[in-house]
Amino acid sequence: MFTHHVQIRVTYADTDQMGYVYYGNYARYYEIGRVEALRSLGFSYKEMEASGIMMPVYENNSRYLQPALYDDLLTVKVLVKTPPSVRMVFEYEICNEAGTLLHTGVTTLVFFNRQTNKPCRAPGVLLERLKPFFA
């Protein structure tokens, strides 16, 4: 299993009138988490897309346990529990500075060949970078 942690400070623009993180922002936190998780492996979304492989979100699920608040320092834990194939599943746990679990989520992304407009297998370089975590 591969895991990575990234910290995000809640900005005023992230919150609603009650001072809670607006629910739609969690998907953005997921994206930041997964991009940085892959970057920590030396893998770049930007380079993957330049090579003609896209990675659109196929499914997104969220569970709101407690609100995150303005100026909270959140830790987004990203987990990849199974090696990718045509799909890649990311799980998320978001905690505040006190370590309280505020939010959980799962996104499924699909590798998509831009030239053929069809799903394709995960890039070999990504599989190689993840291999040690699933040995």
* Domain that residue 53 falls in: 2-134
CA angle 7, 86, 133 (to 5 degrees): 50
Of 64, 75, 78, nearest to 109 by C-alpha is 78
Please give the tally of structural domains in the chain. Answer: 1
Question: pLDDT tens digit string along 11-45?
Answer: 999 999 999 999 999 999 999 999 999 999 999 99
- C-alpha 85/C-alpha 92 separation (Å) is 19
Question: What does the pLDDT read at residue 93?
Answer: 98
Question: Please, which pLDDT band fits residue 86 given cuts at 50, 70 and 90?
Answer: very high
The Cα-based distances of 57 to 9, 23, 39, 112 in angstroms read 24, 17, 18, 10
Q: Are strands 112-113 and 53-54 parallel, antiparallel or unpaired?
A: antiparallel
Mean pLDDT of the chain: 97
Q: Does this model's pTM top 0.85? A: yes
Question: What does the pLDDT read at residue 114?
Answer: 96
Question: Please, which pLDDT band fits residue 124 given cuts at 50, 70 and 90?
Answer: very high
Chain length of the chain: 135
Question: What does the pLDDT read at residue 24?
Answer: 94
| CATH code, 126 | 3.10.129.10
Question: pLDDT tens digit string along 33-80?
Answer: 999 999 999 999 999 999 999 999 999 999 999 999 999 999 999 999
